[in-house]
Amino acid sequence: MSGPDTIIPNWPAPAGIRAAFTLRSGGVSQPPFDTFNIAAHVEDDPRAVAENRALLRARLALPAEPAWLEQVHGRRVADLDALPTLDSPGPADAALTRSPGRICAIQVADCMPVLFAAADGSAVGAAHAGWRGLAGGVLQATVGAMNTPPAELLAWLGPAIGQAHFEVGDEVRAAFLDGDPGAAGAFVANPRGRWQCDLYALARRKLAALGVQSVHGGGWCTYAEPGRFFSYRRDGRCGRMAAVIWIV
């Protein structure tokens, strides 16, 4: 089916699990949200956002509207099976479900989306893992809430800003080294007295410490590919992409 462009994760997810990551092309939004913006909070035309979300449902044959979280760079996990309605799941930076037909969704434009699936296909989850979420424990909270032994989980690291373009200050580095001195390897000093931060390396460290052994994806840079990805750090005012996962 034609429509929005997507990346389909290359990971050994069990039968019955579907996942995708949207790119910035194939939608109807006008600049600077061109063209496939799925976020309602970035001052895009609401009619364009609604049409893009409808295109997403059609492109992926989604059984329902994704549960669009109000992301706040925290660690709260929304259990979609426990909510009275998925229309407004509230502030959260991760979601999980064990029920077919409910779609976990994370919106990003440089932060890392991390998708999870139980090896037996019984549960899926998604986390919004920018540096604040990673440092604050969003991956730990998500893995814990899935109630699946970590060794029986698969994880996929979606497109995020790469180390070459992610400059941070001492406070960000300190947030990771506190309790994990080995995280220093994810930071390279630059000539400006600041640090180039590798989100992928930090996520892999967090997942390894939790016991999640099957980790896939990584390696993109949203900043470096303006034709494919939105990047807040590169563009400021821009759209958002979505990582979605569900059980059929």
Q: Is residue 183 part of a domain?
A: no
Strands 94-97 and 77-79: parallel
Half-sphere exposure of 72 (CA within 13 A, CB side): 10
Q: Is residue 124 part of a domain?
A: yes
Phi, psi of 48 (to 5 degrees): -70, -40
Q: Is residue 141 part of a domain?
A: yes
Q: Is residue 97 part of a domain?
A: yes
Q: Is residue 219 part of a domain?
A: yes
* CATH number, position 82: 3.60.140.10
The model's pTM is 0.96
Q: Is residue 198 part of a domain?
A: no
Cα separation values, 214 from 13, 119, 155, Å: 10, 10, 6
pLDDT of 1 reads 44
Domain that holds residue 116: 6-161+212-247
Q: Name every residue whose Cβ is closer than 8 Å to that of residue 238 and which is 6 or more positions away in sequence.
A: 32, 33, 37, 42, 109, 230, 231, 232
Query: Would you give per-residue pLDDT tens digits along the chain (248 residues)?
Result: 456 789 999 999 999 999 999 999 999 999 999 999 999 999 999 999 999 999 999 999 999 999 999 999 999 999 999 988 888 888 999 999 999 999 999 999 999 999 999 999 999 999 999 999 999 999 999 999 999 999 999 999 999 999 999 999 999 999 999 989 999 999 999 999 999 999 999 999 999 999 999 999 999 999 999 999 999 999 999 999 999 999 99
How large is the angle between the packed helices 138-146 and 199-210, nearest 10 degrees? 40
CA-nearest of 77, 72, 74, 68 to 37 is 68
3-state secondary structure the chain: CCCCCEECCCCCCCCCEEEEEECCCCCCCCCCCCCCCCCCCCCCCHHHHHHHHHHHHHHHCCCCCCECCECCCCCCEEEHHHCCCCCCCCECCEEEECCCCCCEEEEECCCEEEEEEECCCCCEEEEEECHHHHHHCHHHHHHHHHCCCHHHEEEEECCCCCHHHCEECHHHHHHHHCCCHHHHHHEEECCCCCEEECHHHHHHHHHHHHCCCEEEECCCCCCCCCCCCCCHHHHCCCCCEEEEEEEC
Q: Is residue 61 part of a domain?
A: yes
* Terminal-to-terminal C-alpha distance of the chain: 18
CA-nearest of 159, 161, 165 to 113 is 159
Determine the length of the chain.
248
Cα separation values, 228 from 11, 139, 222, Å: 21, 26, 8
User: Hey, what are 71's tokens?
Assistant: 């992301």
Domain total in the chain: 1
Q: Is residue 206 part of a domain?
A: no
pLDDT of 2 reads 56
